[in-house]
Amino acid sequence: MRIAIVGGGAAGLMCAATLAESGVANDVVLLEKNAELGKKVLISGGGRCNVTTGLSDVRQLLLRYPRGQKFLQKAMYHFPPLAVRDWFESHGVPLKVEKDLRVFPVSDNGSDIVGVFKRLFDQANVQILYGHQVISISESQHVFTLHLKQTISLEVDAVVLTTGGQAYRHTGSTGDGYTFAEKLGHTITPLAPSLSAFIVEEHWPKTLAGVSVKNATITCGNKRFTGPFLFTHKGITGPAVFALSALIAFETCTPQKKLHMEINLFPDRQADVFVKELHELAQSHGKKNLLNIISTIIPYSIAEICLGENYINANQHGASLSKEQAQNVVHWLQHIPITVISRVAGDEFVTAGGVNTKDVDPKTMESLLVPGLYFAGEILDIDGFTGGFNLQASWATGRLAGEAIISTSNHILHNT
Ligand SMILES: Cc1cc2nc3c(=O)[nH]c(=O)nc-3n(C[C@H](O)[C@H](O)[C@H](O)COP(=O)(O)OP(=O)(O)OC[C@H]3O[C@@H](n4cnc5c(N)ncnc54)[C@H](O)[C@@H]3O)c2cc1C
């Protein structure tokens, strides 16, 4: 069988590797518009490549995907994080699991991950066409014709579309695959940036740039997420912010249509108990000033803002903290209002939305509309939180597409 994989990112690489290692004699060509493979893999995880997650329970894993949870079930049970880790380790890249369950190469170098594929393709029968951009794809009588920018065309029996989303466009992922899929009859669900930082209207968060919080709940309407976050010179970022941005990916957020959010710096504390404890703390350090007392429970710079926002004199003695003031402080710490005026443009990690999963067989990744056409990775309407979940989805769907093609080609071989 002649097979073309369009896009040499995580999903395309894993699909090509699966075909290469199958031992089934297929003609596999991987078309990549860049001069190198896996450009996004190389910058992922800040260059360290958070290759997958240390979560091994697939049910728990699937909860980390705001879109595509059900669709991904087969792929994830078939190639779960533990199998992904084994695969990379057995291909010569030792991995480590960090405290927050993110998995990285021991070397902290994402190029080790891409290196696995390069070595594998050098030894196997996979033709890599670097700098080859597909500009359109047509299909007639089970033969696909790929038209390339270089005014050449290619005829194949199967196509795997692994062109990614449209985040970080300079890496080559410019959403081309959506057009190809649409022209071949598939629906593209609405697209939106996901895993992005927020720009806030208030000035005070910007004065806290660089201050991090280990565990807070950030709420927007009926969506909330608890985890670490960080203040920036524009607003807020970090895992909890990214996760919330995924949950509200399709909410409009502009200076005209602002999003009102609340930060709870003490999500595990019951308000009335907290007020009592704070009051007692202030009384027991009656001669100290309030700023010093409150900065024993939150970073000094946040304590300054907290007192300022509540019109409490920072130099006031602990002994003079009234019950009402204690209540105001606690209320503020558990309901800090912030107004988000936009997402940080062009900085999102993934695209929410994509090829409608209703048009794709979750057992094979093959199109239900055009036999012989497969999809894998971020091009699909699937996306996860940060923590290795997006690469995990790309490895798992890329693998499944590769295996489905192998079983089809085996079937053809046995029947000819
Ligand atoms: C800055 C950043 C950091 C990230 N960090 C992590 C992380 O640590 N862990 C994690 O799990 N996820 C991370 N992600 C998300 C993750 O990298 C992506 O979800 C994943 O790489 C998507 O893989 P993919 O193969 O579907 O698509 P892509 O990696 O986007 O690959 C698509 C490929 O197709 C090529 N292509 C596109 N159109 C054409 C065409 N017409 N012809 C030929 N080639 C074409 C592109 O050049 C590209 O190489 C990060 C994303 C970003 C932007």
Domain definitions of the chain by residue range = 2-193+350-414, 196-347
The sign of the dihedral angle between the CA atoms of 189, 400, 179, 139 is negative
In this predicted model, what pLDDT tens digit does every residue of 331-362 receive, in sequence order? 999 999 999 999 998 889 999 999 999 999 99
416 contacts: CB under 8 Å, gap ≥ 6: none
Ligand 1 atom showing the smallest separation from residue 31 Cα: 43
Provide the pLDDT confidence category of residue 320 given band limits of 50, 70 and 90.
Answer: very high
Residue nearest to atom 46 of ligand 1 (CA): 172
Global pTM reads: 0.95
CA of 41 to the centre of ligand 1 (A): 6
Which amino acid type is present at position 86?
D
Share of the chain above pLDDT 90, in %: 93
Show the ligand 1 pocket: residues with CB < 6 angstroms: 6-12, 31-34, 39-41, 43-45, 49-50, 133-134, 162-164, 167-168, 172-173, 176, 349-350, 377-379, 388-391, 394
Report the pLDDT value the prediction gives residue 124, as an integer from 0 to 100: 85
Report the pLDDT value the prediction gives residue 416, as an integer from 0 to 100: 61
CA of 397 to the centre of ligand 1 (A): 13
Q: Which of 38, 26, 31, 29 is nearest to 6 (CA)?
A: 31
The strands making up 27-32's β-sheet, listed across from edge to edge, are 126-130, 27-32, 2-6, 158-161, 373-375
In this predicted model, what pLDDT tens digit does every residue of 163-221 receive, in sequence order? 999 999 999 999 999 999 999 999 999 999 999 999 999 999 999 999 999 999 999 99
Instruction: Extract the tokens encoding 26.
Output: 């297929």
Residue nearest to atom 37 of ligand 1 (CA): 163
- Statement: residue 267 has pLDDT above 80: yes
- Statement: residue 30 has pLDDT above 90: yes
Share the mean pLDDT of the chain. 95
Q: What architecture does CATH give domain 2-193+350-414?
A: 3-Layer(bba) Sandwich (3.50)
Q: Which of 314, 19, 341 is nearest to 162 (CA)?
A: 19
Report the pLDDT value the prediction gives residue 413, as an integer from 0 to 100: 61
383 touches 351 (CB < 8 A): yes
DSSP string, 296-345: TTS-HHHHHHHHHHTT--TTSBGGG--HHHHHHHHHHHHSEEEEEEEE-T
Report the pLDDT value the prediction gives residue 415, as an integer from 0 to 100: 67
Ligand 1 atom showing the smallest separation from residue 378 Cα: 26
Burial 99-126 (b: 16+ CB within 10 A, else e): eeebbbbeeebbebbbbbbeebbeeeeb
